[in-house]
Amino acid sequence: MALSTAPGRLEVICGPMFAGKTTALIARLSAARAAGLEAVALKPALDTRYAHAAITTHTGERLPALAAACAGEVMNLLGDAGVGGVVGIDEAHFFGAALVAPVRALLLRGARVIVAGVERDHRGAPFEPFPALLVEADEVVKLHAVCARCGGLAVHSQRMFASNERVAVGGAGDYEARCRRCFEPPAD
């Protein structure tokens, strides 16, 4: 494995759905590329809402990305990419707690790692890998959405369909951003 002398840096961009996390991630990766740095984007392969090999926003922005079926694939997919450069990981909550190990490995390689995703699950509980990544982070950006009920600051992703699955892919119509007061956690 190639090594860099750069100290790793972890940036976490989190918040509910529709908060602009992917837009913020794309902006950071694009700025790094414009500055001449190697910047690689990676996303979970199960998130196939809009495209296979791109990270995309609800508003149509997109950036080419590697797609990993699970967190165990991340290091193999990246190879030497991101050594001393920048690695952006979108929709990190789909990878679960298993993403913490490859993120730490990338940091040890000297990479600047930018992780975006939802830090609260549909019940409002901490959503792995964010508890561990928020402790590890050098910079945390918490974005808010607009509550679909009252227009207040939304921190929750209200699931609009019945499912006990913690990971359930959805887009506009499947989830609503909700503030703390308007959030209705599932009863079960």
| Shortest distance in whole angstroms from residue 141 CB to Zn ion | 22
3 state DSSP class of 142: strand
149 binds Zn ion (CB under 5 A): yes
| Shortest distance in whole angstroms from residue 167 CB to Zn ion | 25
179 binds Zn ion (CB under 5 A): yes
| Shortest distance in whole angstroms from residue 144 CB to Zn ion | 11
Report the distance separating Cα 44 and Cα 132, nearest Å.
19
Query: Quick one: tokens of 150?
Result: 């009252």
Report the distance separating Cα 79 and Cα 91, nearest Å.
21
The footprint of Zn ion on residues 18-77 (CB under 5 A) is none
| Shortest distance in whole angstroms from residue 152 CB to Zn ion | 4
- The one catalytic residue in 91, 119, 128, 176 is 91
150 binds Zn ion (CB under 5 A): yes
Q: Which of 147, 157, 158, 176 binds Zn ion (CB under 5 A)?
A: 147
Of the candidates 162, 186, 169, the one whose C-alpha atom is nearest the C-alpha of residue 117 is: 169
Let me know if 5 is exposed, middle or buried by CB neighbors in 10 A (0-12, 13-18, 19+).
Answer: exposed
Complex with Zn ion: residue 70 or 182, whichever CB lies closer: 182
Report the distance separating Cα 110 and Cα 127, nearest Å.
26
Tell me if residue 91 is catalytic: yes
182 binds Zn ion (CB under 5 A): yes
Report the distance separating Cα 42 and Cα 101, nearest Å.
15
Q: Under the rule (CB under 5 A), what is the footprint of Zn ion?
A: 147, 149-150, 152, 179, 182
Residues classed as catalytic: 91
